[in-house]
Amino acid sequence: MAEFQAGLPPTGDQKLHGPAAASAQTNPLEHRELQIRKPDDWHLHLRDGHLMEAVLPATARVFARALVMPNLDPPVITGRQAATYRQRIVSALPRHFMFTPLMTLYLTEDTDPFDVRKAIEHGIVTAVKLYPADSTTNSQRGVRNFDTIRGVVDVLSEFGVPLCIHGEVADFAIDVFDREAVFIERVLEPIQRSAPELKIVLEHVTTKEGVDYVLANGASTAATITAHHLLINRNHILAGGLRPHYYCLPVAKRERHRIELIKAATSGGSSFFLGTDSAPHFDRKKEAICGCAGIFSAPNALSCVAQVFDDIGALKHLESFVSINGAKFYGLDANQDSIRLEWQEEPIELSQPISYGTDKVTVFNPGIDLHWKVCSAVEA
Ligand code: NCD
Ligand code: ZN
């Protein structure tokens, strides 16, 4: 990884500001720490069974809540399935963790709007997830004909429950790097026009087109941004050798798109919030002839994001991005507890892979030094 440096090169309009950044300029050795409200992860893959047990602590240690994606095999389609999945997650939590999984339903063409209504009324689900069929991991049961989701969209609009969207067309004729932009035109705009009240989250946005779409669409539209898309561009995946641990969907784009994502995340604007899309796969499945998509970033995602914000002097907006904007969009209170991050001169050691029997899950390598160590949760 040494040959690529991620991180945004400073430009004229991104001056260092804020007390922490200012002290970094004048005295790099000065003790720097941050205390922010406990963050939430608004897009997380926890999987199930033993793998879920192995990866869950990495998230529960740092985040108060996470929106848990439903693309299991078989997927979490009904309210009942979401309730039992939630129960399995809660049972797998080590006792001392205060962590709340927020559940989603996997939208299919046959999803019963009445079941969605019941799941919402019983407080089981926080959002419904739309995967265009064949767009990503376990999306085969997703949606091909978007006219079929009308009934569910009406229920979501009625309750103010967001539709979280994997925003890529799964059309082989469309270049993989253009799939988000084409999705916005072909699918997202028509859905939004037909249901102006619907709350929409464009998940793991990766392009300037996506950012612009969110900015142009007012308070009912938001986007999650991952830690890894703030740090890597498509060169990290493809130049100088093929690096499967940087392959995820949507695939990282050109550098100019990454810069737009950094601007959006660090702007303080309320429409953007952290969704790590931490997506563990066994290494043997990624380092394969047909490697699967997904980056496992849960163990260092917050340190990565803090570093990106620090590098452009935007730490004052970190709390909005990781702890406030998402909760507000979902109509929830921000967390009362806090978490402390400490700057250390010695870069944090790279996280070791998570072992599971003879299998391993490699943790995201940000390709830059990380100096912000997540220390502890602070009780309210
Ligand atoms: C995710 C997974 O593995 O479940 N993979 C990924 O590359 N992000 C699915 C997804 O969110 O697209
Ligand atoms: Zn995902």
**Per-residue pLDDT tens for 114-132?**
999 999 999 999 999 999 9
Segment (H or E) for 189: helix 189-194
Closest CA to 45 of 138, 162, 184: 138
Ligand 1, closest atom to CA 203?
A: 11
Nearest ligand 1 atom to the CA of 281 is 3
pLDDT in tens, 62-117: 999 999 999 999 999 999 999 999 999 999 999 889 999 999 999 999 999 999 99
Contact criterion met (CB below 8 Å) for 265 and 225: yes
Q: How far is the CA of 278 from the centre of ligand 2 (A)?
A: 7
Q: What is the pLDDT of residue 1?
A: 35
Predicted TM-score of the model (pTM): 0.93
Report the residue among 52, 136, 140, 165 best suited for mutation to probe ligand 1: largest number of ligand atoms under 8 A from its CB.
Answer: 136
Q: Is 139 in the pocket of ligand 1 (CB under 6 A)?
A: no
Task: Let me know if 41 is a catalytic residue.
Answer: no
- What is the number of other CB atoms lying within 10 angstroms of the CB of residue 222? 27
277 touches ligand 1 (CB under 6 Å): yes
What is the CA(288)–ligand 1 centre distance, in A?
Answer: 17
pLDDT digits (tens, 9 = 90+) for 22-41: 334 445 556 799 999 999 99
Q: Which of 40, 277, 310, 311 is flagged as catalytic? A: 277
Q: Tell me the mean pLDDT in the region 252-260.
A: 98
pLDDT confidence band for 288 (50 / 70 / 90): very high
Which ligand lies nearest the alpha carbon of 168? 1
Q: Indicate which atom in ligand 1 lies nearest the CA of residue 294.
A: 7
pLDDT in tens, 190-227: 999 999 999 999 999 999 999 999 999 999 999 999 99
pLDDT exceeds 50 at position 57 = yes
CB atoms within 10 A of CB 121: 10
How many other CB atoms are there within 10 angstroms of residue 27's CB atom?
A: 10
Label residue 221 left, alpha or beta by phi (over 0 means left) and psi (-120 to 50 means alpha): beta
Identity of the residue numbered 114: F
* Ligand 1 atom closest to the CA of 204, numbered from 1: 11
Ligand 1 centre to CA of 294 (Å) is 5
Does the CA dihedral 63-65-66-70 come out positive or negative?
positive
Q: What confidence tens digit (pLDDT) does each residue in 312-353 have?
A: 999 999 999 999 999 999 999 999 999 999 999 999 999 999
In 93-165, alpha helices (H): 113-121, 150-159
- The band of 21, judged by pLDDT with boundaries at 50, 70 and 90, is very low
Pocket test for ligand 1, best of 43, 71, 361 (most atoms within 8 A of CB): 71
Question: Closest by alpha carbon to 299, among 206, 229, 227?
Answer: 227
Please tell me if the CB atom of residue 297 comes closer than 6 angstroms to any atom of ligand 1: no
How far, in Å, from the CA of 16 to the mean position of ligand 2? Answer: 32
329 alpha carbon – ligand 2 mean position (Å): 19
Token pair listed for 11: 């430009």
Pocket test for ligand 1, best of 44, 249, 361 (most atoms within 8 A of CB): 249
- In the chain, helix, strand, coil percent, each to 5? 40, 15, 45
- 238 Cβ below 6 A of ligand 1: no
DSSP string, 254-320: -HHHHHHHHHHHHT--TTEEE---B----HHHHSSTTPPP-B--TTTHHHHHHHHHHHTT-GGGHHI
CB of 168 shorter than 6 A to ligand 1? no
Using CA atoms, how far apart are residues 247 and 238, in angstroms rounded to an integer?
9
